[in-house]
Structure 1
Amino acid sequence: MVELVEQIRVVDTDTHVIEAYDLWTSRISVAKYGDLVPQVRWDAEAEQEAWYFGGKRIAYAAGSCMAGWHEYAPDRPRKLAEADPACWRAEDRLKKMDETGVYAQILYPNVAGFGAGRYLTLNDPELMLLCVQAYNDWVVEWAGIAPKRLIPQMAIPFWDIQASIAEMDRATKLGHKGIVLCGAPQDFNLPKLSDPYWDPFWAAAQERNLPVNFHIGTGDMWVFDMMHESVGKHASFAAVAPVLFTENIQVIVQLIFGGICHRFPNLKFVSVESGAGWLPFALESFDWQWLNSGVHKEHPEYKLLPSEFFKRQIYGSYWFERKSLHSALDAIGADNIMYETDFPHPTSMSPGPATIATSPREYIQETLGDVPRDVAEKLLWGNAARVYNLD
């Protein structure tokens, strides 16, 4: 039997680059900005390499390199050198992709936050913009070894709309295929997504045919304090992800009920690392409340139901689901769902001695081996090619 990954070029729509330790210090003047420039130092107390933004420790440097790691999260490599090189070196990433049957990866940032929120901790607008630009430059260089297989999504200085639009143009010329936007700007003292304040941003993205990606975990991350310490570190860590998976329901609600999909009908939105099984429930509840509360009367200009706006413009991604994947396909179809792995994060489809994960090759065959070929092609390739304008 020929495996699906040998028949269809698989696009993994959510992976993360592990930023080089000199990404910012090699591109931004340390002489001018000093310790404010993001950098890695050895944390003697924790005995780990750590990232410092504005002189404050914000993350352990190898903490996201869990692919193939021999301990359960939140235990992690202490140094980047202890992790699988495929986490951080492009040449090894391509080899890992070939082994697991993945042709291309959509690349998301890591250390500065999944929506660029950590740059705001620097409290210097000039430096914040330089940091965004340095990341966008670096990730294109990192992906340059195989630009049709490693596909960057740009960071945006979302605290300044005009600067964001300028960066859209600059980063697109570099080779970026989409935008990563914070899903909870109100957590950073900015207007909510449903505020018309953002209309110039949406208009610019639509005009440039750039999809807007909302990765989970871009807000204040209160969920990390959700559990009492008595439950243990592994239970506390494991409890976070299921809550975050459905976090983007707040984003989708604002896009639809806030009229953004109506006003910008050609703009595509992606809910990243969020799963697909909950989408049918969400869409049914949207339609019910829309009609039951008279939204169609209040806004007669909205000619579609929420589920119809979703099917026209919004996409979800999945990577571990089995039964719920198939129920989602039955309920909403295959046109708005894409496959991902979240490599190399703790919740990823990255098998190692301490996990139950299967490889993408095995998982894809197990879950899609019996579905119609056109359905498998949409989930694994076609939808991503359409959203990200891939060759």
Structure 2
Amino acid sequence: MTRDNRDGNARRRQIEAIRGRIDHPIVDADAHLLESVPMVIDAVERTAGRAAAEGLRRTIPTLFTGPGSREEGIPRGPWWPSSTDALYQATVMVPELMAERLDEFGVDFAVVYPSLGLALCTIPDQEVRLASIRGLNALLAELCLEHARLLTPAAVIPMHAPDEAIDELHFAKELGLKVAMIPPGVARPLEAYPEHFPLLAHMDRFGIDSAHDYDPVWRTFQELGFSVTAHGAVALRYLPGGRGSPTNYSYNHVLGHGYLMSEFCRSLVYGGVPMRFPDLPFCFLEGGVGWAIETLGALEEHWEKRGPDGLSEYDPSRLDHAALAEILERYGFPHAPPEMIGETERSPWARDEFEDSGLSGEADIARIFREQFFFGCESDDVTVHRALDAPGNPMNVPLQPIFSSDIGHWDVAHLDDPVPQSYRLVERGQLSKEAYRAFVFDEAVALHTRANPDFFAGTAIETAVLDSRD
């Protein structure tokens, strides 16, 4: 007997009670499909031919780090990654069944992200990468668009080069897809050690230090009406996450998504992307929002102390070495020569490290985090209330967390868990009903309608969305 059959009625009554206490829909901004690998391979064969399909078949086993290796420096990947409940498995594999059951889970509308797709966009071989993603996106449209009233799939956008991203964005638009997902970075070989890729790699995060100018990509997102949603995965061979236990997947997973998203976020800010595209929303998925609170405070501090004005306090040419020598001599300390303390002039590589950001002050940082950045938070995320608490945040900035169930993956044991878990924040007094509404409805609506005002047209929540914008 499955868990759903055993106590599903009790959980359903709990969800019904929650729905009776609120007057707004619940949007799941990050549910997951578990793609059928044979169906994906067949779709690739239909769109790109048999050779491309065989290329994908050979490539899939190489994308994950597996059991790990201390000798090779390979981190352990996920194991036992999915629920063993047959109905659960079928629900997250079959969009039609997911649409039928959303109401059971207390969800009115879901944005559905692929799972295998998180890995396909990291494939280093361009031919295999592009053919695989093209086939997957066509399959997602085929399986999901007939259920557009209740759910919408996210297209996978390859980002190894701007041209391939732009091409796939246009293809996704032609398919009728409304959500576009990029990886939080791509791994590139180091020029000095190409033979050691991917164990040694440079992570290009599309902002600062990027190999390409990605402004044409951001411009295309904007022109086609897509928000930028970024989603990574832990223990992908070609998406190094900075954490590398070869024996413990849990070690690698704890804070793993937050690490990926914080790196991507800082790359955008220091690279000036949100300042050049102030109307383009960005969403950092599955990493929670705790890292964002810390990042906001750290950026404020670094602007104050390492920005164009504060940095002059540390200019070594301002140090009075004679005065320092006199003070040290008074206490019996030798005075080191100036070259051992620091250069008397700025080193050639020292510069204003915010000069590429386009920022003019702390107010710009606050605006970006308050208006442009959204943060995907699972239902049991304990930092959601902190994010929405403006007086408790740096610069009094309220952040924009969005309810993201992550159903389909191991961290959601049962499909009807997320909504009750999210409402505990209200029951514990951590969120007001207004803040809860923002978390599970308003922020997700804002994320997608700022890029595409008609995003929810024809969906089950169209009227509620229109009413919320009046």
Question: 2:246 & 2:437 partners in 1: Cα distance?
Answer: 44
Q: 5+ unaligned residues in a row in structure 1: which ranges?
A: 40-51, 61-72, 230-235, 353-357
Answer whether contact 1:212 1:270 (CA < 8 A) is retained: yes
TM-score (norm 2): 0.66
Question: 1:319 & 1:149 partners in 2: Cα distance?
Answer: 20
Question: 1:75-102: per-residue Cα shift (whole Å, max 9, x none)?
Answer: 2569997962112012321244221101
Look up the match of 2:59. Answer: 53
Q: 2:40 aligns with which of 23, 36, 43?
A: 23
Look up the match of 2:284. Answer: 271
Question: 2:104 & 2:407 partners in 1: Cα distance?
Answer: 14
Question: 1:192-235: per-residue Cα shift (whole Å, max 9, x none)?
Answer: 41236111111211222311111133773545972253xxxxxx
The more displaced of 293-302 and 174-183 is 293-302
Going from structure 1 to structure 2, the CA distance change for 1:169 and 1:76 (only over 3 Å counts) comes to: closer
What SS is found at the alignment partner of 1:346? coil
Equivalent position amino acid for 1:147 in 2: A
Question: 2:79 & 2:142 partners in 1: Cα distance?
Answer: 31
Equivalent position amino acid for 1:53 in 2: T
Answer whether contact 1:185 1:191 (CA < 8 A) is retained: yes
Question: 2:82 & 2:405 partners in 1: Cα distance?
Answer: 20
Going from structure 1 to structure 2, the CA distance change for 1:200 and 1:225 (only over 3 Å counts) comes to: closer
Q: Kindly tell me the number of residue pairs found equivalent between the two proteins.
A: 350
Answer whether contact 2:96 2:144 (CA < 8 A) is retained: no
The more displaced of 364-373 and 186-195 is 186-195
Q: 1:316 aligns with which of 375, 381, 384?
A: 375
Q: How does 1:118-129 map to 2 (within 5 A)?
A: 118=123, 120=124, 123=125, 125=127, 127-129=128-130
1:368 aligns with 2:426: yes
Q: How does 1:102-113 map to 2 (within 5 A)?
A: 102-113=107-118
Question: 1:280 & 1:124 partners in 2: Cα distance?
Answer: 36
What is the CA-CA distance between 1:315 and the residue it aligns to?
A: 0.7
Question: 1:34 & 1:173 partners in 2: Cα distance?
Answer: 22
**Structure with the higher fraction of residues in helix conformation:** 2
Q: 5+ unaligned residues in a row in structure 2: which ranges?
A: 1-15, 66-77, 190-201, 311-351, 450-454, 457-470
Q: How does 1:1-391 map to 2 (within 5 A)?
A: 2-4=17-19, 7-20=23-36, 21-28=38-45, 32-33=50-51, 36-39=54-57, 52-53=58-59, 56=61, 58=63, 74-75=79-80, 84-113=89-118, 116-118=121-123, 120=124, 123=125, 125=127, 127-187=128-188, 191-194=204-207, 195=210, 197-217=213-233, 220-222=238-240, 226-229=244-247, 236-247=248-259, 248-295=261-308, 298=352, 299=355, 302-303=359-360, 304-321=363-380, 323-330=382-389, 331-332=392-393, 336-347=400-411, 349-351=412-414, 359-369=417-427, 370=429, 371-389=431-449, 390-391=455-456
Question: 2:442 & 2:116 partners in 1: Cα distance?
Answer: 30
Going from structure 1 to structure 2, the CA distance change for 1:84 and 1:212 (only over 3 Å counts) comes to: same
Question: 1:17 & 1:58 partners in 2: Cα distance?
Answer: 18
RMSD between aligned alpha carbons? 3.3
Q: Flag as ranges the 4+ runs of structure 1 deviating above 6 A.
A: 77-83
Larger Rg: 2
The more displaced of 333-342 and 367-376 is 367-376
Answer whether contact 2:187 2:240 (CA < 8 A) is retained: no
Identity %: 17
Going from structure 1 to structure 2, the CA distance change for 1:322 and 1:224 (only over 3 Å counts) comes to: closer
Going from structure 1 to structure 2, the CA distance change for 1:132 and 1:115 (only over 3 Å counts) comes to: closer
The more displaced of 326-335 and 284-293 is 326-335
TM-score (norm 1): 0.78
What SS is found at the alignment partner of 2:254? helix
Equivalent position amino acid for 1:275 in 2: G
